Amino acid sequence: MQRRSTRSFADRPLSIAQVALMVWAAQGQTTGERRSCPSAHALYPLTLTVVAGNVDGLAAGAYRYDAERDVLTLIADGDHRDRVAGTTLADHAWLRRAAALLLLSGDLEAAAQHFADQPPVGRRGARYVWLEAGHAGQSIYLQAAEAGLGAVLVAGFDDDRLLGLTPAIVPSGQHPLALLGVGHPADRQS
């Protein structure tokens, strides 16, 4: 098993092709309207934001992934890795060194409304969103391992600080769920 959490990243850039593999693994469209990760009732309440800082072929910035078109759209230019990593509770020093951060956020309200009739009433939808975020995170881990890259999922961040970043990194109306650092592991020379 090659999948491990990586907390020490080399100062080597990812390629845009490697980033494309990661985002597709998390939320990419497969056939028809289906995506690479399961979603209850095919609701797909997740949004994937790439915070790129050291990616060949992709300018530093925050990008929103559009699964239907398989494209990244710039939402904020400049390197925001340090600011985003700075919202974590204990992981700032090493997480900011990842070549890219992948932020998973979700529309908990839409899911709550969609599954409102399922017990426990009013709470079932949030459970499905969290499970979907787990599927997406694991897919990123597995794709990173396959590509010889390192990845780590961080859920310990200050939601209010992350939501309050200007320019906004988390989409309006969404809740931050997970932050993944991706890059070349520092202990690998290849």
User: Over the stretch 48-59, which tens digit does the pLDDT of each residue have?
Assistant: 999 999 999 999
Per-residue confidence (pLDDT) for residue 4, from 0 to 100 = 64
Q: Are 98 and 91 in contact (CB under 8 A)?
A: no
Q: Are 162 and 105 in contact (CB under 8 A)?
A: no
H/E run at residue 160: helix 159-163
Per-residue confidence (pLDDT) for residue 57, from 0 to 100 = 95
More confident site: 132 or 31: 132
pLDDT class for 2, splitting at 50, 70, 90?
low
- Side by side, the strands of the sheet bearing 46-52 are 71-77, 61-66, 46-52, 100-106, 175-183, 150-154
pLDDT class for 28, splitting at 50, 70, 90?
confident
User: How is residue 149 annotated by DSSP?
Assistant: -
Kindly tell me the burial class for residue 161, based on how many C-beta atoms sit within 10 Å of its own C-beta (0-12, 13-18, 19 or more): middle
In this predicted structure, the answer to whether residue 189 has a pLDDT above a threshold of 60 is no
Q: Are 45 and 39 in contact (CB under 8 A)?
A: yes
Instruction: Kindly state the average pLDDT of the residues 110-124.
Output: 86
**Model's pTM, two decimal places?**
0.92
3-state secondary structure of 2: coil
The phi, psi pair for 24, rounded to 5°, reads -65, -40
